[in-house]
Amino acid sequence: MPDPLKYLIVDDVEIDRLAIETLASRYTFLQKVAVCKHALEAVELIPILKPDIIFADIEMPGISGMDLVRNLAGKVPIPVFITSHPEFALEGFETQAFDYLIKPLNPERFARCILRIREFYEIRSKAYAFDKERSSGHISIKQGYDKYKILIHDILYLEAMKDYTKIVTSTDRYLVLGTFSHMQDQLPSELFTRIHRSYIVNRNKIESASGNKLFISTYQLPVGKSYKMALDGIF
């Protein structure tokens, strides 16, 4: 993981820029490289400063944050939208944004985003390649010349992390280079259920559910509104 992770803020409202800076300053592994008042300024600075993270508002004069992120596809590893408009969330995620935060910023929600970003960088450095072949109740992944077998019934859940998929088992975590949809296709549909745009769970590992939350082992996972029907018959 780069140490520290460099971030750039793009927001046309001063109080919102200060709010992001204040919360980000709590994390020693984050380093501010620029604060921009509009997207055109960010377009000029990003190729020079090469930030790891960009915190972008959506509604701004001139170029919107959405268009900024689309134009920077592949140039900023982690784009995060911070906006007052929850109605743009689906469109935001379609730009491959890492996260979508609502103003006013909630410190706990911001913390979850930042810690996921750190985890992403930590395990990306040892990302595995996924072997499409599945047999004898396991999937195979490989890193370099080393090959590992993961028992399917040991998998707790999968989480989408941009171009990677995190596989969480009862004893370990793996980051596999491959799309979320592709990974889902490799697993038995009768056992694995999608509960959120970013999460697939092993139905046999679910311990309880409450509202829009689901509990597996020590993990608490969100349940998307459009995926609740997928849990029918489990409880």
Element holding 25 (H helix, E strand): none
**pLDDT value for 49:** 94
Higher pLDDT, 132 or 73: 73
Q: What is the CATH number of domain 5-124?
A: 3.40.50.2300
What is each CA distance from 198 to 97, 99, 158, in whole angstroms?
12, 11, 8
CA distance 80 to 57: 9
The pLDDT of 92-105, averaged and rounded, is 80
Judge whether 5-124 and 128-231 match in fold: no
Count how many Cα atoms sit within 13 Å of the Cα of residue 137 in the half-sphere of its side chain: 4
Q: What is the CATH number of domain 128-231?
A: 2.40.50.1020
**pLDDT value for 182:** 78
111 neighbors 119 (Cβ within 8 angstroms):
no
Q: What DSSP string describes 179-204?
A: -HHHHHHTS-TTTEEEEETTEEEEGG
The pLDDT of 53-63, averaged and rounded, is 91
The tens digit of pLDDT for each residue in 24-55 reads: 999 999 999 999 999 999 999 999 999 999 99
**pLDDT value for 175:** 83
CA distance 235 to 233: 6
The tens digit of pLDDT for each residue in 99-156 reads: 889 999 999 999 999 999 998 888 776 665 655 455 558 888 776 667 778 888 999 9
Longest dimension (CA), the chain: 58
- Sorted by where each begins, the domain ranges of the chain are 5-124, 128-231
The pLDDT of 177-206, averaged and rounded, is 87
